[in-house]
């Protein structure tokens, strides 16, 4: 099904995966998909890092999910490292194989001297191209605290509003405080854009995750960091994990109460934490 239609019919639950690079990763992902299937997710999202090999892995995984007929899948696509013709060809292939849902992203610009050609600079251009190629449901990324390359939060909101005006929905970077999602949605509404913005959820389950989250663009608030440190002092790594799951559950409950159109879980290709949060919220463990 198209994700815009799913969102129009009620709150969604979705999970994000990355394509495996090895037999071991493939086995882990297969187990994860099996474990999450009983939760009946509205859709699953498959990431993409760029390049022909990664593009093929994304296509293969999305196609397999679609062909098995149990789950709706969305394929990521990025501007960085591609000519317009390559992007057009990829979108055409998706359309021809019945892949109706696409996440249009700018992508991370590579560091160092290894410059690569990118005909499109911004995700809004990729959204426009996707509209030309096929009848896709198109998602875009949103950053509650602003994109790292934005000059200001206000300008970031302006660009996001323009992008989302052309797309069908947005999925946020992970965040840890409900006000971050509420403020983002309100800022978009002030700009006349009221399309669904799905909150992205990723629990912090280790003390090391505190610094990793900051490196990934979403700093863990001091209050949550203090909770995790205190949990470690009480119960070690298991205590940290339990506290992180509880904090993520609280966040989900709060933003659902604020009217979130669903929840999007970043799984890192593992199901346990996601299933625990899901069970806390909805009483289902998914096997």
- Contact of 190 with 196, CB cutoff 8 Å: no
Angle subtended at Cα 158 by Cα 186 and Cα 261, rounded to the nearest 5 degrees: 40
Domains of the chain: 3-205+260-269 (3.20.20.220)
The bridge status of strand 43-46 relative to strand 262-266 is: unpaired
Angle subtended at Cα 47 by Cα 278 and Cα 131, rounded to the nearest 5 degrees: 110
Supply the angle between the helices 23-36 and 272-282 in degrees, to the nearest 10.
Answer: 10
Which is the catalytic residue, given 16, 125, 180, 276? 16
What pLDDT, on a 0 to 100 scale, did the predictor assign at position 239?
Answer: 97
Please write the tens of the pLDDT for every residue from 143-185: 999 988 888 999 999 999 999 999 999 999 999 999 999 999 9
Average pLDDT, the chain: 91
| pLDDT for residue 55 is more than 70 | yes
Q: Which residue has the higher pLDDT, 9 or 110?
A: 9
Give mean pLDDT, residues 196-200. 98
Residue with tokens 């909805």: 282
pTM (two decimals): 0.92
Active site residue 16: yes
What percentage of the chain has pLDDT greater than the value 90?
A: 69
What distance lies between CA 143 and its chain's CA centroid?
11
Q: Which residue has the higher pLDDT, 117 or 176?
A: 176
Return the bridge partners of 172, or none: 142
Please write the tens of the pLDDT for every residue from 76-104: 999 988 999 999 999 999 999 999 999 99
Q: How far is Cα 155 from Cα 161, in angstroms, rounded to an integer?
A: 10
Residue with tokens 């198209």: 2
Give mean pLDDT, residues 180-205. 97
**63-to-26, 47, 93, 100, 153 alpha-carbon distances in Å:** 15, 13, 11, 11, 37
| pLDDT for residue 110 is more than 60 | no
Give mean pLDDT, residues 62-72. 84
- Reported as a pLDDT band with limits 50, 70 and 90, residue 286 is very low
Range of lowest pLDDT (37-41, 111-115, 237-241, 277-281): 111-115
Q: How far is Cα 78 from Cα 103, in angstroms, rounded to an integer?
A: 8
Residue with tokens 């960085």: 80
Residue with tokens 């003390």: 207
- Reported as a pLDDT band with limits 50, 70 and 90, residue 283 is confident
What percentage of the chain has pLDDT greater than the value 70?
A: 94
């Amino acid at each position: 099904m198209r994700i815009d239609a799913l969102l129009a019919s009620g709150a969604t639950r979705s999970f994000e995966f990355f394509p495996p690079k090895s037999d071991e990763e493939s086995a882990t992902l297969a187990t994860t998909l099996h474990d999450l299937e009983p939760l009946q997710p509205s859709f699953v999202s498959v990431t993409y890092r760029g390049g022909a090999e990664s593009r093929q892995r994304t296509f293969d995984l999305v196609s397999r999910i679609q062909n098995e007929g149990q789950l709706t899948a969305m394929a990521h696509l990025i501007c960085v490292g591609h000519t317009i013709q390559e992007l057009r060809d990829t979108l055409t292939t998706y359309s021809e194989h019945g892949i109706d849902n696409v996440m249009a992203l700018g992508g991370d610009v590579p560091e160092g001297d290894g410059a690569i050609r990118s005909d499109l600079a911004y995700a809004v251009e990729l959204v426009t191209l996707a509209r030309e190629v096929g009848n896709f449901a198109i998602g875009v990324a949103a950053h509650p605290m602003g994109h790292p390359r934005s000059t200001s939060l206000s300008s970031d909101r302006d660009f996001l509003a323009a992008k989302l005006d052309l797309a069908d929905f947005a999925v946020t970077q992970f965040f840890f405080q409900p006000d971050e999602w509420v403020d983002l949605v309100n800022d978009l509404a002030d700009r006349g854009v009221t399309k669904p913005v799905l909150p992205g959820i990723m629990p912090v389950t280790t003390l090391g995750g505190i610094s990793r989250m900051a490196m990934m663009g979403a700093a863990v608030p001091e209050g949550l960091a203090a909770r995790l440190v205190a949990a470690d002092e009480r119960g070690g790594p298991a205590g940290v994990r339990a506290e992180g799951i509880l904090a993520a559950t609280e966040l989900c409950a709060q933003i659902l109460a604020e009217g979130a159109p669903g929840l999007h879980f970043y799984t890192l290709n593992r199901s346990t934490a996601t299933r625990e949060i899901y069970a806390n919220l909805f009483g289902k463990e998914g096997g």
